[in-house]
């Protein structure tokens, strides 16, 4: 329970930080707003064509007696739209981060500066950072698919599909949403995507405490836009303590942003994370997109 509470505190601290620094709040809204328009159009199209997709996917039910074809296709339609909505929640963040890479990178750096400074990041052109972000996001989405595809199938199981599966779906989405949001600060530390996922797996409760409330909030489209700047700020605060090995339920989430926001004085953090020395160098020499 301590890690869950810590994750939620980081989320609250990030929202307070951007509210105390209104210019950065507005700065981070534009990429999320553009992404919202794109996803609104995609979900509208899915809703319009969902019935036809259900009929196409279940031709074997054409000869069934009423009301079974309608019940099967109605369930399929509901699950298809729910899966699309949950997928949109996760990919919304990935696309918004890609669209707003310079915006969110600047916001994350400002948060670190207000907390006592952080790593300057690798010296490489913007196009390369965008390419790495895209490839890392695809890696995360493929990992997520390993869980969401079986959950989609299990959604057809009576009772389990209406109780356990939705709860598991929110947990999976929350974990990978945290992975996407922390990528801004962890990429600046040149931590490879596999190492990022390993770090979060070791602190699953922390990742879920941060990500699951956001998944629930992001189900409301306008809320997703309004919370996005604070989510990036909160993820940066989480990374600072997680990378320093100090994100715990007893005090890891009680840094300066929670008390003084962007106006707080320097907050003491160890300058570098405890992952093995040479990890960043190894990432550059292993076959990964760059």
Mean pLDDT of the chain: 78
> What are 50-72's pLDDT values in tens digits?
888 888 888 887 778 778 888 88
Q: What is the pLDDT of residue 259?
A: 40
Please spell the DSSP secondary structure of 209-228, one letter per residue: HHHHHHHHHHTSHHHHHHHH
Range in 102-111, 117-126, 130-139, 225-234 with the lowest mean pLDDT: 117-126
Question: How far separated are the first and last CA of the chain, in Å rounded?
Answer: 38
Give residue 245's pLDDT band: very low, low, confident or very high (50, 70, 90).
low
Distance CA 282, CA 274 (A): 15
Q: What is the pLDDT of residues 246-274, one digit of tens each?
A: 444 444 444 444 444 443 333 333 333 44
Cα dihedral 54, 73, 219, 7 sign: negative
The answer to which of 15-24, 32-41, 47-56, 125-134 has the lowest mean pLDDT is: 125-134
SS (H, E, C) 107-128: HHHHHHHHCCCCCCCCCCCHHH
pLDDT-wise least confident of 141-155, 161-175, 227-241: 141-155
Cα 137 to Cα 29: distance, rounded to the nearest angstrom: 21
Residue 83 or 184, more confident: 184
User: What is the chain's alpha carbon radius of gyration, rounded to the nearest angstrom?
Assistant: 20
């Amino acid at each position: 329970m301590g890690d869950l509470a810590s994750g939620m505190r980081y989320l609250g601290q990030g929202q307070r930080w951007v509210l105390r620094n209104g210019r950065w709040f507005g700065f981070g809204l534009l990429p999320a707003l553009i992404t919202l328009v794109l996803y609104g159009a995609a979900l509208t199209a899915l809703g319009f064509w969902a019935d036809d997709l259900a009929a196409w996917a279940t031709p074997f039910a054409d000869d069934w007696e009423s009301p079974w074809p309608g019940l099967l296709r109605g369930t399929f339609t509901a699950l298809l739209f729910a899966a699309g909505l949950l997928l949109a929640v996760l990919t919304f963040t990935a696309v918004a981060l890609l669209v707003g890479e310079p915006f969110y990178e600047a916001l994350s750096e400002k948060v670190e500066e207000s907390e006592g400074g952080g790593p300057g990041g690798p010296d490489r052109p913007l196009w390369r950072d965008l390419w790495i972000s895209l490839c890392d996001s695809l890696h995360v989405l493929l990992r997520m698919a390993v869980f969401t595809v079986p959950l989609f199938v299990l959604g057809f199981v009576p009772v389990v599909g209406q109780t356990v599966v939705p709860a598991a779906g929110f947990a999976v989405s929350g974990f990978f949403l945290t992975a996407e949001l922390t990528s801004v600060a962890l990429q600046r530390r040149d931590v490879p995507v596999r190492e990022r996922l390993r770090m979060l797996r070791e602190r699953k409760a922390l990742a879920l405490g941060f990500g699951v409330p956001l998944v629930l909030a992001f189900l409301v489209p306008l809320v997703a836009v309004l919370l996005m700047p604070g989510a990036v700020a909160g993820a940066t605060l989480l990374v600072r303590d997680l990378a320093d090995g100090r994100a715990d339920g007893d005090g890891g989430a009680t840094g300066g942003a929670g008390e003084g926001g962007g106006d707080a004085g320097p907050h003491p953090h160890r300058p570098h994370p405890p992952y093995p020395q040479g990890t960043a160098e190894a990432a550059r020499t292993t076959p990964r997109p760059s």
